């Protein structure tokens, strides 16, 4: 069957880690100055950085997808997560089952068109 191959671009980790360092530094400065003190920006930035670092591993992402897939298969709702081909997936490459579907933007356009149609029907009645 067909597969989707997700490849992490060269330099993405380095660029993202630089951005995360900036985020942590900015949060520390704002906390020190007392700006947004009640929000705990430093703790928030630290947690965001930890979460983002975990997401830099396609092995971790594949694990999450497989957990989601397993949960989805247990209920009666019509939804589906792609199968991950773990033998071909590594830290920077993930191979998944290809799923045919529609773009989220197309779905949103259809919902908006339906709303406009409902509004038109209400106006005409």
Q: What is the pLDDT of residues 8-46, one digit of tens each?
A: 999 998 999 999 999 999 999 988 888 777 788 888 899
Which pLDDT does position 15 carry in this prediction?
Answer: 93
pTM of the model as a whole: 0.63
Give the count of beta carbons closer than 10 Å to the beta carbon of residue 115. Answer: 10
> Over the chain, what is the mean pLDDT?
87
More confident of the two residues 120 and 112: 112
CA distance 102 to 119: 25
Q: Which two tokens stand for residue 116?
A: 């406009």
Alpha carbon 20 to chain centroid, angstroms:
17
Residue 88 has pLDDT above 80, yes or no: yes
Which pLDDT does position 7 carry in this prediction?
Answer: 96
- At residue 122 the predicted structure's pLDDT band, cuts being 50, 70 and 90, is low
- At residue 5 the predicted structure's pLDDT band, cuts being 50, 70 and 90, is very high
Residue for token pair 């396609």: 58
Mean pLDDT of 91-114: 89
Alpha carbon 30 to chain centroid, angstroms:
27
- Give all strands (DSSP E) within the chain, no chain letters: 3-7, 93-97
CA distance 54 to 65: 14
Q: Which domain holds residue 49?
A: 3-124
Number of domains comprising the chain:
1
CA distance 109 to 115: 10
């Amino acid at each position: 069957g067909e597969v989707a191959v997700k490849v992490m671009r060269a330099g993405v980790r380095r660029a993202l880690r630089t951005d995360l360092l900036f985020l942590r530094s900015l949060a520390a400065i704002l906390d020190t100055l007392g700006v947004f003190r009640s929000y705990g920006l430093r703790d928030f930035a630290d947690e965001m950085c930890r979460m983002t670092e975990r997401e830099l591993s396609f092995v971790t992402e594949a694990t999450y997808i497989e957990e989601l897939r397993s949960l989805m298969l247990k209920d009666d709702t019509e939804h589906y997560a792609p199968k991950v081909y773990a033998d071909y997936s590594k830290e920077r490459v993930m191979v998944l089952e290809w799923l045919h579907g529609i773009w989220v933007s197309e779905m949103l356009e259809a919902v908006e068109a339906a709303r406009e149609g409902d509004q038109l029907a209400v106006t005409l009645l």
